[in-house]
Structure 1
Amino acid sequence: MSNEELADLTQPQRDRLAFVELRVRFIGEIRRQDLVSRFGIQSAAATRDLALYKDLAPGNIDYDSKGKSYVLGSDFRSVFDFPPERVLSWLTQGFGDGEPVRLKAWVACESPSRLTRPELDTLASVTRAIHQACPLRIEYHSISSGRTEREIVPFALIDNGLRWHVRAFDRKTQDFRDFVITRIKHPVVLKGATVQPHEASDQDIQWTRIVELELVPHPDQPRPEITVMDYSMQDGVLRMKLRAATAGYILRQWSVDCSPDHSLRGPEYRLWLKDSLALYGAKNAVLAPGYEAPDATQVRIEPIKANVRITSASTSKD
């Protein structure tokens, strides 16, 4: 599809075609009803949009008569140049799925840029595998093991504040792990391949367990009342519920002093974890600043389970 062909379309048409491309590329399929629901158009108009996209971008979508949906074509070539940040916002927050255009801001605003950005074709394979609940064959590069070939069963994206991971069952180690998306190469979605019950997300104890944390102003920082205001604390406490699989990432991102005696020094440590034993059993708690694992013989904490609803495309030990 050329820029001239796009320019001949109305903005609403371009937005709908961009939505078609996002759905097919990152979810793996789109139905006429998806367009109807998203844009409030009639079924006939949705049919025309799908036909138009197919004509303007041959090879990008194919019709699956069995599933009665349009699926990713074998010769897909992206038409719209979506920034990775916008795609991830759409995948995880559900907005911003129109044509990627530079809009004028209502107010001046600056936000920090990420130093790492996932490659969109790799991200697309990961999210299609998540949505379609199927394994993913990858080449993975880690600091500890170098280059390895693996099959993983991904089920969720995780943003640790610095980079994006995918939470998945790793068939190589027979364990649930976090994989950095920028370290994944040559992903292949194994559509239709069997996923065993023990590989499902509800078997991931670190994912289903919820830890309840109480954060308070750091005892060694001046003006604790300012910290209470900054974090909208109630009665001087910020109460949080986090997945055990993500707690270490978040506490590190927020520079929370997790030492039992609030011994970390520095202006960045404005918060202190009131009870470090709340992290007992959370594997990635080792990432939390100052955290020291207690002696297992001295602590006995019952695991906390929670029923979790995992969205289709809603993290690294290596």
Structure 2
Amino acid sequence: MSLQLSYDVVQRFYFIELIIFWEGRLTTNHLQQHFNISRSSASKYIQDYLQCYPHSLVYNASKKGYEQTAKFTPTQGLSDLGSYLNITAQSMQSHALNHFTSMASPLVPVQPSKVMGILQALKYKQRIDVGYVSLSSPEFESRIISPHNLVFDGSRWHVRAYCEKNRDFRDFVLTRFNGDCEIEGDALFAQHHDTLWQTILNVSIEPDPRLTPNKAHIIALDHQMTLQPNGLYKRTLQVRAALLLYLLKQLRVDSYQANPAAQQIILSPDCLAELQPYMP
């Protein structure tokens, strides 16, 4: 059944499903704290959800809360632990024990004044003239770009854009802009013109073959690998070709370690051969 829900209702339902998915039990107290509402309002939020999805939750009197049924089907994104921690942290009371710790990127944060023009260009699909500095050009120089996506690689923010100087799509680090921005009209290129952005690659990883079977099993658990018919563990991830190098760095397979305990995982040999055309 396709439901047309308002933004506020979608946010309420998402929170309900998030708690059920990760904690296994939902109470009105969860909703009261997160939305700063009364108990009666929290009960109404739950009843609204049950009216739309009557077979998803069941009340457990012994646990004094709702639990998911076998027919519970969560929305996308609930498997992301980071989203759960970030959203639930918003409703933690000041006197409560904060038992979640998240390490922010140690790099310089992005200054709004430097990227306002870029954000506007993304929103309105504009072509802009901006000041940018790079390792090859250490002085700020004018770049005319048509941006189409913001990308966070785990430590830094980039904008994916067509660069008229290089006549190709490139990634630009947001902290390297100087904030000067002039609109040059509508963007000449969009993401559907970006071949590497549109190309989806399969990245297969497996435990370093130098590890003992017991250690390989532990590494497989860490990376949600499954045992293959050939007796080896393996997991395949999908990534846009334009973002391949970021993924390889996150997985720490962009370089080879002499110590197998430090290396932990490798790219499957057949996968490595297929990825070569997209690697520097």
The TM-score by the shorter chain falls in which range? 0.5 to 0.7
Deviation of 1:221 (Å): 2.9
Structure having the higher helix fraction is: 2
Quote the residue 1:68 is aligned against.
none
Q: 1:109-146 CA distances to partner (integer Å, 9 max, x unpaired)?
A: 22222122111233333222112111122110111112
Could you tell me whether the CA contact under 8 Å between 1:217 and 1:272 is conserved in 2? Answer: yes
1:180 counterpart (173, 176, 184):
173
**Identity across matched positions, percent:** 25
Quote the residue 1:268 is aligned against.
262
Quote the residue 1:150 is aligned against.
143
Change (3 A) 1:264 1:152: farther
1:210 counterpart (177, 197, 200):
200
Distance, in Å, in 2 between the alignment partners of 1:181 and 1:121 is 11
Quote the residue 2:111 is aligned against.
119
Deviation of 1:102 (Å): 8.6
State the structure with more CA Rg: 2
Equivalent residue runs for 1:75-90 within 5 Å: none
Deviation of 1:194 (Å): 2.7
Distance, in Å, in 2 between the alignment partners of 1:39 and 1:226 is 42
Distance, in Å, in 2 between the alignment partners of 1:177 and 1:129 is 16
Q: Over aligned residue pairs, what C-alpha RMSD do you find?
A: 2.9
- The answer to whether structure 1 residue 277 and structure 2 residue 273 are counterparts is yes
Distance, in Å, in 1 between the alignment partners of 2:263 and 2:247 is 14
Q: What letter matches 2:190 in structure 1?
A: A
SS of the residue 2:110 aligns to: coil
Deviation of 1:37 (Å): 4.0
Deviation of 1:205 (Å): 1.2
Deviation of 1:181 (Å): 0.1
Distance, in Å, in 2 between the alignment partners of 1:123 and 1:264 is 41
Equivalent residue runs for 1:102-113 within 5 Å: 104=94, 107-113=98-104
TM-score normalized with structure 1 length: 0.53
Q: 1:124-174 CA distances to partner (integer Å, 9 max, x unpaired)?
A: 332221121111221101111122111111111111122110000011221
Distance, in Å, in 1 between the alignment partners of 2:101 and 2:242 is 31
Distance, in Å, in 2 between the alignment partners of 1:178 and 1:250 is 14
Could you tell me whether the CA contact under 8 Å between 2:113 and 2:179 is conserved in 1? Answer: no
Quote the residue 2:187 is aligned against.
195
2:157 counterpart (152, 155, 164):
164
Deviation of 1:264 (Å): 4.5
SS of the residue 1:145 aligns to: coil
Distance, in Å, in 1 between the alignment partners of 2:272 and 2:226 is 20
1:219 counterpart (209, 214, 224):
209
Equivalent residue runs for 1:234-273 within 5 Å: 234-235=226-227, 236-256=233-253, 264-265=258-259, 267-273=261-267
Deviation of 1:245 (Å): 0.8
Q: What letter matches 2:145 in structure 1?
A: I
Q: Which runs of 5+ in 1 are unaligned?
A: 1-35, 41-92, 287-318
- The answer to whether structure 1 residue 38 and structure 2 residue 7 are counterparts is yes
TM-score normalized with structure 2 length: 0.60
Of structures 1 and 2, the one with the larger relative CO (CA 8 A, separation 6+) is: 1
Deviation of 1:179 (Å): 0.2
Could you tell me whether the CA contact under 8 Å between 1:257 and 1:269 is conserved in 2? Answer: no
Distance, in Å, in 2 between the alignment partners of 1:176 and 1:169 is 4
Distance, in Å, in 2 between the alignment partners of 1:123 and 1:142 is 16
Change (3 A) 1:257 1:124: closer
Could you tell me whether the CA contact under 8 Å between 2:204 and 2:236 is conserved in 1? Answer: yes
